Amino acid sequence: MNSNPTVRWFWFASPQTFFPLAGTIARWCAVGAALLALAGLYVGLVAAPTDAQQGEVYRIIFIHVPAAWMSMFIYLVMAGWAAIGLAFNTRLSFMMAQALAPTGALFTFIALWTGSLWGRPTWGTYWVWDARLTSELILLFLYLGFMALHAAIDDPRRADRASALLAIVGAVNVPIIYYSVQWWNTLHQGASVSLTRAPSMAATMLTGMLLMALAFWAYSIAAVLVRVRCIIRERE
Amino acid sequence: MSHGFFLWGAYAVTFAVLALEVWFLFRRSRRAGPSRQIK
């Protein structure tokens, strides 16, 4: 291997060299996800106190908020890999984008499902055509559209390029989801956790939410790397 | 309906769909078979 760091970076851009590395990282992340989820569930369901206003049902946020974060973040990573694939014509980049889509769609579904079940007892409705909820639903359709478009084109290289364009164009929806609660008067509340100000919740609640977020991160990395290994074996 | 219904409905479905994804990944991994070119 060349000692130049730039060249070493491209060394792992080859599916053949990335394949064993992905397997090792996936195993460690799967173990990490299980441990973090156990810790997060303990803090969220046992250690965290009952909310004074919402009662026990507020504990849905320990999966709802991390799932919503993951749904947006995975889309941006997917669009990023798609853009790298189009710019550098690297096969692994397109494979990564393809591998990210089902997990991203899953987290989007979880965010919508758990949000709906939280909304019924607190807002009095499962669903409203609110800017945050509607833009998150559009994100689910973008993921499904990406997967459907890729599956509809027989030539894998053409499928890669067509779906990559859709992923990049669809990325405009992510800031719309994130800022929707600021730009419009929405039923959905604003961000409870921000990098620029102190959190508006108890420390135990924040710990539980961050542990579950880390568990979902580790799970996503493991699932995506296992899937990209399948794609490499199917296509190479 | 009680709050427990919504709480456990959210947690059960979340972990069920994640488990389903893991099962589909294992199945796909088995079907992809051992790598011929890649070790």
- pLDDT of A16 reads 83
Residue A225 maps to a domain: yes
Cα nearest neighbour of A120 on chain B: B6
Residue A8 maps to a domain: no
Residue A2 maps to a domain: no
* d(CA B27, nearest CA chain A) in Å: 10
Residue A175 maps to a domain: yes
Residue A116 maps to a domain: yes
- pLDDT of A15 reads 83
- Whichever domain contains A109, its CATH number is 1.20.120
The CA–CA distances, whole Å, from A60 to A45, A56, A226, B5 equal 9, 9, 28, 11
Q: Residue A217: is its pLDDT beyond 80?
A: yes
Structure confidence by residue, pLDDT tens digits, A134-177: 999 999 999 999 999 999 999 999 999 999 999 999 999 999 99
Structure confidence by residue, pLDDT tens digits, A72-122: 999 999 999 999 999 998 899 999 999 999 999 999 999 999 999 999 999
- B38 contacts in A (CB within 8 Å)? 15-16, 19-20, 232-233, 236
Structure confidence by residue, pLDDT tens digits, A9-51: 666 778 888 899 999 999 999 999 999 999 999 999 999 888 8
Contact B3 A106 (CB under 8 A): no
Which amino acid is located at A213 in the chain? A
- How many domains is chain A partitioned into structurally? 1
pLDDT band at B20 (very low <50, low <70, confident <90, very high): very high
pTM, entire model: 0.91
Q: How is residue A91 written in tokens?
A: 């096969």
Q: Which among B2, B6, B35 is the top mutation candidate for probing chain A, defined by the most A β-carbons within 10 Å of its own β-carbon?
A: B6
Residue A209 maps to a domain: yes
Residues whose CB falls within 8 Å of the CB of residue A145, separated by 6 or more in sequence, listed in order: A166, A170
* d(CA B19, nearest CA chain A) in Å: 11
- pLDDT of A1 reads 46
- pLDDT of A186 reads 80
Cα distance between residue A10 and residue A42, in whole Å = 41
Which amino acid is located at A17 in the chain? T
Residue A5 maps to a domain: no
Residue A9 maps to a domain: no
DSSP state of A54: T
Domain that holds residue A119: 16-235
**Closest CB from B10, B21, B38 relative to A106:** B21
